[in-house]
Amino acid sequence: MSSKKKKKLTPTQQKYQVFAKEREPKRPVVKNSIRAFIAGGLICTFGQGLQWMYIRYFNFTEKTAGDPTVATLIIISVLLTGLGVYDHIAQWAGAGTAVPVTGFANTIASASIEHRSEGYVLGVGGNMFKLAGSVIAFGVFSAFVVALIKITIKSLGGV
Amino acid sequence: MDKFIWAFLVGGTICVIGQILMDVFRLTPAHTMSALVVTGAILGGLGLYEPLAEFAGAGATVPISSFGNALVKGALAEAERNGIVGVLTGIFEITSAGVSSAIIFGFFASLIFKPKG
């Protein structure tokens, strides 16, 4: 909690915040990290296997194989989300399933499935990017800034 | 075979960074993913992400940080060809496959599956 918010609380409330914080269950950081490492590593190894398959059997090159690999991972992750399996894996793996591109697909698929009762236009269409939108918005904005900086440096005769 | 091992190690490490952001710095998954995307974009601008991807293969291209890198790469490549407007037109050039397939299959999923629980 920010210190700004803390100032508004009465002394009793502040005491309670301290009390609650002490009793909050400690997060098992090491255990979670190991799980994230294993799950994330396996997803990436699987992606590497897909990429190898596309290069070897479908005439993709090292550069172009990325697209079908990502698309395949997304299809698998959407299917697992729809079947309700992805949530169980994610509960075990934490960031291991959230950080790879499969987590991005999972947020889109789960948001669109969840809101389908509100109709396809307002529910599915409107809520699809509820969680994934922040990734796209921040990604695009930061990429824009980075690209502009790089072009400016280049045109000034830098690296 | 080396590539598979490096993909596992590098991909796992990026996920551990994400887990630490979530557990130690108490970020929500959305904040974590945004932070990784921005990091990827900055690393891409510094020219550090490409060597990592060449070395670790899918270990660097599958995590969400590669999304940021790909956005920068697309923008710069198009800007090289068409001038400054290319930053706007090229930004989704490489990531189009990922974004559009996520939208399309996500929509399919909403047609097929019913929410659980």
Residues A28-37 pLDDT 10s: 888 889 999 9
In chain B, how many domains are there? 1
Check the CA dihedral B9-B12-B16-B17 and report its sign.
positive
CA–CA distance, A114 with A106 (Å, rounded to integer) = 12
pLDDT value of position B117: 57
Report the share of chain A in percent with pLDDT over 70: 94
Which DSSP letter does residue A124 get? I
Q: At residue B24, does pLDDT exceed 90?
A: no
Q: What is the mean pLDDT of residues B65-93?
A: 90
Probe site for chain A from B10, B16, B48, B91 (most A CB atoms < 10 A):
B16
Contact of B18 with chain A, judged by CB distance below 8 Å, is answered with: yes
CB pairs under 8 A between A and B: 252
Contact B11 A36 (CB under 8 A): no
Contact A147 B72 (CB under 8 A): yes
At A97-121, the pLDDT tens digits run 999 999 999 999 999 998 888 888 8
Residue B117 lies in a domain: no
SS3 A142: helix
B70: containing domain: 2-112
* Cross-strand pairs, A100: B63
Contact A99 B64 (CB under 8 A): yes
Residue B54 lies in a domain: yes
Residue B26 lies in a domain: yes
Report the share of chain B in percent with pLDDT over 90: 53
Q: Where are the alpha helices (DSSP H) in chain B?
A: 2-23, 29-45, 49-56, 58-61, 65-82, 86-90, 96-112
Q: Judged by CB atoms within 8 Å, which residues 68-107 of B form the interface with A?
A: 68, 71-72, 75-76, 79, 84, 87, 91-92, 97-99, 101-103, 105-107
pLDDT value of position A1: 47
Residue B89 lies in a domain: yes
Which pLDDT band holds residue A159 (cuts at 50, 70, 90)? low
Contact of B52 with chain A, judged by CB distance below 8 Å, is answered with: no
Probe site for chain B from A78, A99, A112 (most B CB atoms < 10 A):
A99
CA–CA distance, A71 with B62 (Å, rounded to integer) = 11
Give the CB-side neighbour count of residue A22, counting CA atoms within 13 A. Answer: 5
- Where are any strands of DSSP class E within A11-113? none
Q: What is the mean pLDDT of residues B63-87?
A: 90
Q: Please report, for chain A, the start and end positions of each structural domain, with discontinuous segments joined by +.
A: 10-128
What are the structure tokens assigned to A26, written together? Answer: 């400690």
Which pLDDT band holds residue A7 (cuts at 50, 70, 90)? low
CA–CA distance, B17 with B23 (Å, rounded to integer) = 10
Probe site for chain B from A38, A131, A142 (most B CB atoms < 10 A):
A142
pLDDT value of position A4: 59
The residue with tokens 């269950």 is: A25
**Considering CB atoms only, which of B58, B97, B106 is closest to A128?**
B106
SS3 A41: helix
User: In degrees rounded to 5, what are phi and psi of residue B63?
Assistant: -60, 155
